[in-house]
Amino acid sequence: MLCTIYKSPIKPDTYLYIERRDDFSRVPDKLMETFGAPIFVTLLNLAQREKLALADKQKVLDSLTELGFYLQLPPPSQDLLKEHLAANKRAENE
């Protein structure tokens, strides 16, 4: 299955996968407003890929089939303060 990937000019590290290049007809209007004017990144043949770097291939395929799009969001940011406090608490309990 071929898909087209676009990046958001507004949301860093946010990508939109769709079935056909420049066909956003199945993407909700609200999502398109939030995403911004899509910037073309690449065409990708999912059938030739064993896995994807930051997305689950099967989830992408399922979403493209069911919804007509897949939205890849950036991984959650690391909360260093929370990790530091948890480490300190563990050290106190030892």
For the chain, the three-class secondary structure string (H helix, E strand, C coil) is CEEEEEECCCCCCCEEEECCCCCCCCCCHHHHHHHCCCEEEEEEEHHHCCCCCCCCHHHHHHHHHHCCEEEECCCCCCCHHHHHHHHHHHHHHC
Query: pLDDT value at position 49?
Result: 86
pLDDT of residue 94: 77
Instruction: Give the per-residue pLDDT at 19.
Output: 95
CATH at 63: 3.10.510.20
Mean pLDDT of the chain: 91
pLDDT band at 66; cut points 50, 70, 90: very high
**Domain range spanning residue 40?**
2-93
The structural domain count of the chain equals 1
pLDDT tens per residue, range 36-54: 999 999 999 998 888 888 8
pLDDT score, position 89: 84
